[in-house]
Amino acid sequence: MANRGPSYGLSREVQEKIEQKYDPELESRLVDWIVAQCGGNVEKPQPGKQNFQTWIMDGTILCRLINSLYPRGKEPIKKIAETQMAFKQMEKISQFLQAAEAYGVITTDIFQTVDLWEGKDMAAVQRTLMALGSVALTKDDGHYRGNRDWFHRKSQGNRREFSEEQLRQGQNLIGLQMGSNRGASQAGMTGYGMHRQIM
């Protein structure tokens, strides 16, 4: 973690708002899922944002998590090196993020490496892990382990095919979003200035 001094003014207000988005209950659910997904030899951290950050900060658990969602032999991260060098740990986090995006997590749901490494936005880390769990549950390819109630299924596409005749018929209709002219008439309306002429 970087040694940064305290923030003041607007920077402090922004950081406090970001920190308020962190959900301790969600942390507990994510820890349970990661332990279930990676296997029994992963130890749970003590509760708390700082402990959660320290637990996944070196990138090893994240790499094991994404690899566990693939069949054996098709893992996206081939070698997970145990190292204490900061840039190698950040590289593992980056590999996890690339693999998560390739797995199907939307780019806007993916956190930045510094969000985890420096603890700037742990809520974004939670959002990424939630999105990953939801994608894994939705794929339903047999690699998801854990309680199915922990995540929501993502909606699936429902493409519709229309014939040329149906498309032509649709061009002749005026949708109700355009408004309706039923019941509209000029009965009872007077032209501009008509009331002046009567006088």
Taking the C-alpha atoms of residue 149 and residue 151, their distance in angstroms, rounded to an integer, is: 6
Q: Which two tokens stand for residue 13?
A: 């207000």
- Return the residue matching tokens 């939307």: 106
Res. 122 pLDDT band, cuts 50 70 90: confident
Q: How many CA atoms lie within 13 A of 140 on its CB side?
A: 7
What is the per-residue pLDDT across 162-194, written as a single tens digit (0 to 9) for each?
Answer: 888 888 887 777 666 666 666 666 676 666 656
Predicted local distance difference test score (pLDDT) of residue 24: 78
The Cα 101–Cα 114 span in angstroms is 17
Least confident piece of the model among 13-22, 121-130, 157-166: 13-22
Beta strand segments in 68-198, E:
none
The residue with tokens 């994608």 is 135
199: Cβ–Cβ under 8 A, 6 or more apart, which residues? none
Residue 131 dihedral angles phi and psi, to the nearest 5°: -65, -40
Q: What is the pLDDT of residues 68-89, one digit of tens each?
A: 888 888 778 888 878 788 888 8
Q: Which residue segments constitute the domains of the chain, with CATH numbers given?
A: 12-139 (1.10.418.10)
b/e code 49-60 from CB counts within 10 Å (16+ = b): beebbebbbbbb
Listed in sequence order, the residues at least 6 apart from 43 whose beta carbon sits closer than 8 Å to its beta carbon are: none
- Tens of pLDDT, residue by residue over 106-115, are 898 888 888 8
Count of H-run helices and E-run strands, the chain: 9, 0
